[in-house]
A and B are shown apart, each in its own frame.
Chain A
Amino acid sequence: MRLLLRLLLAMIDLGARLAPRSRRRAWRRQWRADIVHEWQWLSRTDAGVIGRATLVRRAAGALRHAFWLRGHVRRLEMISHDLRYGWRQMLRRPGVTVAAVVTLGLGIGANVMMYSWLDGRLRGLIPGAVDSNRLVAMNGVWQTRNTLNTSYQDFLDFRERRPATIDDLFVYTLVPLNMRIDGDPMRVFGEVVSGNYFDVLGVGPALGRMFLHDEGTTPNRYAVVVLSYNFWERRFAGDRSVIGRTVTLNGRAFTVVGVAAKGFRGAEPYLNLDLWVPVVMQPSLTAGGDRLSVRGNHWLEAMVRLKPGVPIARAQADLNIVAADLGRTYPADSFPAVQLYELWRAPSMGGAAVTAVMGIQLGVAAIVLLIACANVANLLLASAATRQRETAMRLTLGASRGRLVQQLLTESTLLAVAGGVTGLVFAYWTKDLVRAFVPPAPLPIDIEPQLNGVVLLFGVAITVATAFVFGLVPALQGSQASIVTALKETASGATTSPRRARLRQALVVAQVALSLLLLVSAGLFIRTLVNAQSVDPGFSLRSGLLASIDLQASGYDTARGRAFQEQLVARVRDVPGIEAASVAQRLPLGFGSSGDMSVTVEGYTPAPNEEMHVYYNRVGPAFFATMGIGIFAGREFSERDGDGARDVAVINETLARRYFPGRSAIGGRIQAGRRAVEVVGIARDGKYQSVSEPPRPFMYLPLQQWYRPDIVLIARTTGDPAARVTALQAAVHALDPNLPLFDVRTVAEHLEVSVFIQRMIATLLGGFGALALLLAVVGLYGVIAAITAQRTTEIGMRMALGATRRDIVALILRQGCSVTMTGVAVGLAAAFAVTRLFRSLLVGVTATDTISFIGTTLLLVAVALIACYVPARRAAAVDPLQALRNE
């Protein structure tokens, strides 16, 4: 029995060698004490063979414990050692450290900023709504289109017959409104919404209440409005007595019943709405008569809330059963199918306006990140190069490669964390800069960057990825030092291995190439912007005033409206300083300025599956003369083309060419909707929706025959248009003192809006292109400076042998140039390949525009040369004696 104890204690004494030195004594003491105690207890209780076997088995666990301690202690010690060592390394080379941290900070900051912009959209979040992930957009499908809107009647049927897989659905649409509070007119943006809108979204009131059931369902009876929190604070200074107050919306009095919860901005991303009105009030609010009862009028966006856990495809299949049934019952009015979209790709207005930019935006962010990462990798490679001797020494002294990699990775992680923190600080500072990227638009576009947990997480993920991916290559490279050569070299003369030098140069080449790609793209869009402002939009009117009028809101019926429009044009024409005037339903190149109808052309047989959709506009007399649109053949509209006269139309060249090939279009007949019109004139082609669109068929109809109460007044002015605003307003108010003129703007301002997307991309690419250039130049400078520093001895030797300072500068510049030029070549090739992707957004420049390509290349080369010149000068200033003495 005692023998067993002796054996076990001997085993512990021997096993102690397995334990790490720092813990050896404690380990031995602990196990000896425990074994003795257990043995004493066994002796007392006479536990027999089983007890002794258990003791042996348990004592054997001591060895496992010792092994474990070994690893555990080493892990702890190594990490703290590596951290301390890495920290000292960072402090020892403050220049490199600051450069790396700032570079990483810029790269990470740019990405975090971009992501903070996209976060909500990408995750399909509606700020303020509950469980947005269960909300999906529903659009109608008809032939090749799958983004069609819904009619109110169809919505009612869908809602009543909604399948068990969905909770509910609601409809809404954006309406610009003319609002008066105590007589002051202002333009506000609201949504008309179905009564269940707030319920389905899960938005409650901050004050007052939301819509009652009757208010949401009884057509045109309850004039109530819910304000957004933002609007309430802005316009009513957060006055709680606002509930029950009366405001005038498009001429009708509405009672404020509530203020929506703080943070809720509406169902559209990127739009910041002011108020909500029940959709059943539409006849009082928007032009075009009562749309509620017309099943064929598809004017509403629909959103569906899925039941928890229901996949979108299943809900779509279920809704399609209802849609197919509606399509059978109302074949002329209802769509036979629907398509559901996750919110991040919903085709509705606020998203669509920004979606075009998004692809480019993401690409830009990724490229900036790549450049920043290449920079850091380069700096780490540079530091690995100067530490070759240290590495070799460690390898000689028995460090494993894995150990060295771990050490170097710890250092890059330290750098990355510092960079990540800097990046988040940058992102926080520049958070509101995002708004500078959004030019003025006729929509309440408001991008609210979120610096929330997800965005922070994104920043951390980027930081870790940067540290790992771009720390790993230098770490593997660095740990590969050839012991013999490295130790032979002197500290200052250590030449870089050719392989590593190549790798570093390749990284700089990649940086130069990527930043050139961004710069070329920026150049293309900046040129586009310049061109777009001078592009021929198809009309020559440049000096003029525009104003929107809504007769419906002021209580005009169709007959009075027609008369008013006629008088208005005549009256405005007489205003001094106004040369010509007309009216139109919409203006070319305005936001959302499209409307199309299905037509058939007499004498033209459409090809199978050819869809005859033609975009159109309704215009008043002398529209073409006022706008300066040339009429090729026939005539334009006059006062005689009124209600009751023969139905006529003016078409553009493209329409004439396409549908009247080989025959005169004048006198031709077109079936437009339920009416047949006769072509009386052919007008010049123009741009209708965007300056970058290709020529498309277009048709003009006389406003008097196709009445609309919401119109735009167009006045051609002499001299400064802004000086005529008061006279114009006076002329309108002389006809009707209560008729508000909203959105009075000059033609120049209107044209500015038409290049909204291009301006946004140009600003964005310009900003990020500059950032990329800065990073690439820092990288180039770093590499050239490091290479130059390593060649100090060589340079001293050259100078001792008679090289002049000029020779040295030229030597270094040559090296910098070869790297830059390779990068330029790669970058140009990449730009040729990439820029064609956004050809459709360019105006007046080809995707391979020579000026953009050459101009940006020259800019980059010039900056690169400066980056190389600084270290070259420093190298040339080397004192040859000093340099050689170090040898």
Chain B
Amino acid sequence: MRDTRPPLAFGAVAILHAIADGNRFGFEIMDATGLTSGTVYPALDRLESLGYLESRWEDARVARRDKRPPRRYFDLTAAGARALAAALTRYKNLRPVSLAAWKIRPNET
């Protein structure tokens, strides 16, 4: 059956992208996306209830070794990966623009 869920907003795509890129928990994702915590945490829950993400608690032994509580890790589900791929195709057009008119060279950040 076709996926009838609405296409993702840009913020949600950024979050899925960050997670696919190896960022696993809240603060990392904020660092990667530049979004605020008030956006990222609800978005993570929402994406999880949509079935795009799944979360689990960090292995307690690892956490104990680092002297801190276990964190909540997020991972892409298969549906999330598909949604991300679809969204990236949609946003593909955003990549190759020339900003030379503003005196900005490609790859300059």
Chains A and B form a bound pair: yes
Inside 8 A of B69's CB, which chain A residues have their CB? 29, 32-33, 36
Against B, the Cβ 8 Å flags (1 = close, 0 = not) of A26-54 are 10011011101110100000000000000
Contacts of B70 in A (CB 8 A): 29, 33
Find out whether the CB atom of B71 lies under 8 angstroms from the CB atom of A33. yes
Chain B minimum-CB-distance residue to A28: B69
Contact with A along B5-41 (1 / 0, CB 8 A): 0000000000000000000011100100000111111
Q: Nearest Cβ in chain B — how far from A651, in angstroms?
A: 69
Choose among A30, A33, A57, A58 the residue that contacts B68 (Cβ–Cβ < 8 A).
A33
Chain B residues with Cβ below 8 Å from A33 are: 58, 63, 68-72
Interface contact A69-B30, CB-CB below 8 Å: no
Evaluate contact between B42 and A65: CB separation under 8 angstroms. yes
A58 touches B42 (CB 8 A): no
The residue in chain A whose Cβ has the minimal distance to the Cβ of B71 is: A33
Contacts of A40 in B (CB 8 A): 66-68
Say whether A37 contacts B42, CB under 8 Å: no
**Pairwise interchain contact A72-B72, C-beta atoms closer than 8 A:** no
Chain B residues lying within 8 Å of A37, measured Cβ to Cβ, are 25, 27, 66, 68, 71
B2 to chain A, nearest CB (A): 13
Cα separation A526 to B58 with both chains bound (whole Å): 79
Chain A residues positioned under 8 Å from B30 (CB to CB): 58
A52 to chain B, nearest CB (A): 14
B-chain residues with CB within 8 Å of residue A60 when the two chains form the complex: 37-38
* Residue B49 at the chain A interface, CB threshold 8 Å: yes
The residues of B that contact A26 with a CB separation of less than 8 Å are 72
Chain A residue numbers with a CB within 8 Å of B54 are: none
The complex places the Cα of A36 from the Cα of B63 at a distance, in Å, of: 11
Contact A61 B38 (CB under 8 A): yes
Q: Which of A32, A68, A76 contacts B42 (CB 8 A)?
A: A68
* Chain A window 59-71, contacts with chain B (Cβ cutoff 8 Å), 1 for yes, 0 for no: 1111011001100
A424–B26 alpha-carbon span in the complex (Å) = 47
Chain A residue total in the interface (Cβ 8 A): 22
Q: Are B26 and A34 in contact (CB under 8 A)?
A: yes
Task: Verify A34–B27 contact, CB threshold 8 A.
Answer: yes
Cβ–Cβ < 8 Å partners of B58 in chain A: 33
Beta-carbon contact of A30 and B72 below 8 Å: yes
CB nearest to B35 among chain A residues: A61
A216 to B22 Cα, complex, angstroms: 67
Assembly CA distance A62 to B41 (angstroms): 8
Q: List the B residue with the shortest CB-CB distance to A26.
A: B72
Choose one: B36, B46, B66; the contact of A61 (CB below 8 Å). Answer: B36
Do residues A72 and B68 form an inter-chain contact, with CB atoms below 8 A?
A: no
Residue in chain B with minimal CB distance to A61: B37
* The one of B25, B37, B46, B72 that contacts A59, using a Cβ cutoff of 8 Å: B37
- Tell me the nearest residue of chain B to A59, going by C-beta: B37
Within 8 A of B (CB), among A380-417: none
Q: CA A36 – CA B37 in complex, angstroms?
A: 15
Query: Interface readout for B46-73 with A: 1 if CB under 8 Å, 0 if not?
Result: 1001000000011000010011111110
Are the C-beta atoms of B27 and A58 separated by less than 8 Å? yes
Quote the shortest CB–CB distance from B53 to chain A (angstroms).
13
Residue from A30, A68, A72, A76 within 8 A of B71 (CB atoms): A30
A residues near B72, Cβ cutoff 8 Å: 26, 29-30, 33-34
Shortest beta-carbon distance from A408 to chain B in Å: 26
Q: Give the residues from 68 to 109 in chain A that come closer than 8 angstroms, CB to CB, to chain B.
A: 68-69, 72, 76
A89 CA to B12 CA, complexed, in Å: 38
Give the contacting residue for B45; candidates A57, A58, A62, A72; CB below 8 A. Answer: A72
Whether B36 and A58, one on each chain, are in contact in the complex, defined by CB atoms closer than 8 angstroms, is yes
Q: What's the least CB distance linking B11 to chain A, in Å?
A: 14
Chain A residues near B57: list those with CB within 8 A.
Answer: 29
> What are the 6 tightest A-B residue pairs by CB atom distance, in nearest-first order?
A61-B37, A64-B38, A65-B41, A61-B38, A68-B42, A33-B69
Provide 7 A-B residue pairs closer than 8 Å at the C-beta atoms, listed in order of the A residue: A33-B72, A34-B26, A57-B37, A61-B37, A64-B41, A65-B42, A72-B42
Q: Which residues of chain A have a CB within 8 Å of any CB of chain B?
A: 26, 29-30, 32-34, 36-38, 40, 57-62, 64-65, 68-69, 72, 76
Given A37-B71, A61-B39, A62-B37, 6 other A-B residues pairs in contact with their CB atoms under 8 A: A33-B69, A36-B68, A37-B68, A61-B36, A64-B37, A64-B38
